[in-house]
Amino acid sequence: GEDVEQSLFLSVREGDSSVINCTYTDSSSTYLYWYKQEPGAGLQLLTYIFSNMDMKQDQRLTVLLNKKDKHLSLRIADTQTGDSAIYFCAEERTGFQKLVFGTGTRLLVSP
Amino acid sequence: EPEVTQTPSHQVTQMGQEVILRCVPISNHLYFYWYRQILGQKVEFLVSFYNNEISEKSEIFDDQFSVERPDGSNFTLKIRSTKLEDSAMYFCASSDAQVLGLFFGSGTQLSVL
């Protein structure tokens, strides 16, 4: 199957950490990605993780991958109002030149 | 910073009409893609293009759809006879090494009436 699932909505206060979760079904995925979509804009690549890694940190972003459970998460430390957007996880499967996207999680950061 | 540009940002058309969505990928990129997002639904892959030919396409990309790289800079998506269900945001993307580091444009909102 190709289902990549995310919770639809997350609300946090400025300064808190945000954790956005994603589950995927294809164990042959090679790379997993996080994209950000702001209103009226395209999809911006935030970060990615190779399937043989279990963690990747990039400034305020931490990606955790549990390959056994097919679970991916994105943690945003010290969340700012400018982080308010829709966040998509996506998987790339071996041999396919395409990404399969999740449903997207709308993050709302309140002051 | 280089970016993928798409025109127009909004396109309204009548059912049955042909539309061409235009994209200018990042200049040194070799792989090109179209994705679409129907309102409230997931971003879906349509087609990938490399070396002047389609390398992969989805079930959505039927005979009504075609892609072309008419010159060294543009990449177009043509829908021959639009249907109501073609209404969506269409995203163009490019990369220089398969899907890793895929750069998306800001999209064309297509409305079929």
Give the model confidence (pLDDT) of B56-65 as tens digits. Answer: 999 999 999 9
pLDDT for the residue A95: 66
CA A108, A43, B80 angle in degrees (round to 5)? 125
Which residue ranges of chain A lie beneath pLDDT 50? none
Three-class DSSP category at A81: helix
pLDDT for the residue A33: 92
In this complex, the residue of B56, B100, B107 whose CB is nearest that of residue A98 is: B56
Give the model confidence (pLDDT) of B69-98 as tens digits. Answer: 988 789 999 999 999 999 999 999 998 875
Find the residue in B nearest to A3 (Cα).
B42
Measure CA B36 to chain center.
7
**Residue to substitute from A99, A103, A105, interface B, most B β-carbons within 10 A:** A99
Q: How far is B21 from chain A (nearest CA, A)?
A: 15
**Separation CA A98–CA A86 (nearest Å):** 20
Which residue is listed with tokens 């396109």? Answer: B11
- List the beta strands (DSSP E) in chain B: 5-7, 10-13, 19-24, 31-37, 43-50, 53-57, 65-68, 75-79, 88-95, 103-104, 108-112
